[in-house]
Amino acid sequence: MNEVDDAIPILQKVLTLAPGSQMASVELARARAIRQKEREHLSRSVSRRFPKVKQNKTPKLSTMSKVKQAVSSRSVIVTSIVAVFSVFVGLVVYIYQPVLMGISA
């Protein structure tokens, strides 16, 4: 694109010096078309990489984001800790039940 950008001003000067130059006018039109195509291509690739998000619409959250959002609340964390602790105590009581009841195996 740099070559095209350099060529356009030169071709414009040639056309001001020789307004009847068909070769300069054809090359200038060609250079402008190339520059336009490159700009459109760049615009399309930017649009693909960075799609526009509407301001009034909230983006959809991924599953992992939903999990992180749910886990981040304190009540969920406290409830999870209590549940894990209860399961641990239940497991210990189940394993050591004969010892606790005074029954020898």
Report if residue 23 sits inside a domain. Answer: yes
What is the distance between the alpha carbons of residues 77 and 75, in angstroms, rounded to a whole number? 5
Which position has the higher pLDDT, 25 or 101?
Answer: 25
Q: Which residues constitute the domain of residue 36?
A: 2-49
Q: In sequence order, what are the residues at sequence separation of 6 or more whose Cβ sits closer than 8 angstroms to the Cβ of residue 105? A: 98
The reported pLDDT for the residue numbered 32 is 92
Residues 83 and 44 in one domain: no
Report if residue 61 sits inside a domain. Answer: no
Report if residue 95 sits inside a domain. Answer: yes
The reported pLDDT for the residue numbered 78 is 86
Residues 6 and 41 in one domain: yes
Report if residue 57 sits inside a domain. Answer: no
Total number of domains in the chain: 2
The reported pLDDT for the residue numbered 71 is 66
